[in-house]
Amino acid sequence: MTADMPRPRPPHLVREETRHGRVVWYVRVGQGPRTRMHEAYDTKEFWRDYRLAVEGKPVKQTGPVAGTVSWLIAKYLSTGDWSDLAAATRKQRHTVYRIVEQAVGNEAIKHLDHANLLEARDRRRDKPHAANNFIKAMRGLFQWAVAANHVKIDPTIGIKLLVGSNDDVGFHAWTEEEVARFEAKWPTGSRQRLAFDLLLYTGLRRGDAVRLGRPHVRNGEFTIRTEKTGMVVIAPIMPALAASIAAAPTGELTFIATERGRPFTKESFGTWFGKACRAAKCPGSAHGLRKAGARRVAEDGASEAQLNALFGWTDGSRESAVYTRTASRAKLAREARRIPAPIDPVRDANLKAQ
């Protein structure tokens, strides 16, 4: 992390190593007080503070101590790599970084080695998705840190994600019986039904569904850039959804709104919609409706490219391939049931004899 000291050493500059193995720098003129250097060694900021200290002027710390975990995180959060992430991803990872800083923010970066990160993942094993979010956040941090030459090795390499209870099938996709049950509980004109119809007939994720409103609609189509992938989705407003929008109370800028007409956050919407599902005795979720919508479209014969366009998946998406393949298998199975059994004279003669 720290370059070797040049020879001869600049006057009044003192190098020390903490009990945690972190190198720190001080300036001390004669027998005067020691002034701690906070910037990374051999940067222009470091030598600026060195000159101030030698001249007896105050040196102000403008951020975390160089070489610490908090310093590395602060550096990462100021980069294009960070800002290029989706807003939802940044919010989720920011929560992880705050927890890490509270625990080991003042420690040297090397404290976050492979063994410590593996142990941190396993402490969260009872909540595998939280454990995986932690590893993903740390992986993003250290992949950038390696590229930026702040560390030599990514300590997350070789740390596998945990398997969640529903990872084999993902979110529960609503069945047609569950769809009918929700519709019976929440009729057209209710806010709950509007949210349901919007999720089912647009296929949007909840983070995009809560943003969709009249400003996104033109000539019977809506256009929205998705929060997660940045893909632009352009799709028609289906007649069932148009009827629901016309009958239900909406917000000024968003179709789905609180009782006061204000937009939901995706988190508060998830909580509210979950209550509506439980009231209808449906085990589904907002994302499960997205899956149900994709299943319906695939069964109607949509291609992978069409599914990608409708649901904001990237070209070559695994999700669209799964839906089209499943729909094709179901179609083949239904057709197979209609095929008469082949003629077998021996079998038929035996059956007649019986």
Average pLDDT, the chain: 83
Question: Is the residue at 354 inside a domain?
Answer: no
pTM for this one? 0.55
Cβ-based burial of 39 (10 A; exposed 0-12, middle 13-18, buried ≥19): buried
Identify whether the C-beta of residue 20 lies closer than 8 Å to the C-beta of residue 107: yes
Question: Is the residue at 46 inside a domain?
Answer: yes
Report CA-CA distances (Å) from 263 to 90, 92, 202, 224, 256.
21, 20, 18, 16, 7
Q: What is the CATH classification number for the domain harbouring 234?
A: 1.10.443.10
Domain range holding 143? 69-147
On the CB side of 154, how many CA atoms lie within 13 Å of its CA?
Answer: 18
Question: Are 221 and 289 in the same domain?
Answer: yes
In this predicted model, what pLDDT tens digit does every residue of 22-68 receive, in sequence order? 678 889 998 888 888 877 788 888 888 899 889 888 877 667 888 89
Question: Is the residue at 170 inside a domain?
Answer: no
Which pLDDT score, from 0 to 100, does residue 41 have? Answer: 80
Question: Are 35 and 102 in the same domain?
Answer: no
Question: Is the residue at 353 inside a domain?
Answer: no
Question: Can you state the angle between helices 239-247 and 191-202, rounded to 10 degrees?
Answer: 160
Question: Is the residue at 347 inside a domain?
Answer: no
| Nearest-angstrom CA–CA distance, 134 and 156 | 11
CA angle, 328 then 331 then 332, to 5°: 85
Quote the number of domains for the chain: 3
Question: Are 38 and 142 in the same domain?
Answer: no
Question: Are 38 and 104 in the same domain?
Answer: no
Question: Are 84 and 21 in the same domain?
Answer: no
Question: Are 201 and 299 in the same domain?
Answer: yes
Q: Choose between 322 and 293: higher pLDDT.
A: 293
| Nearest-angstrom CA–CA distance, 236 and 256 | 18
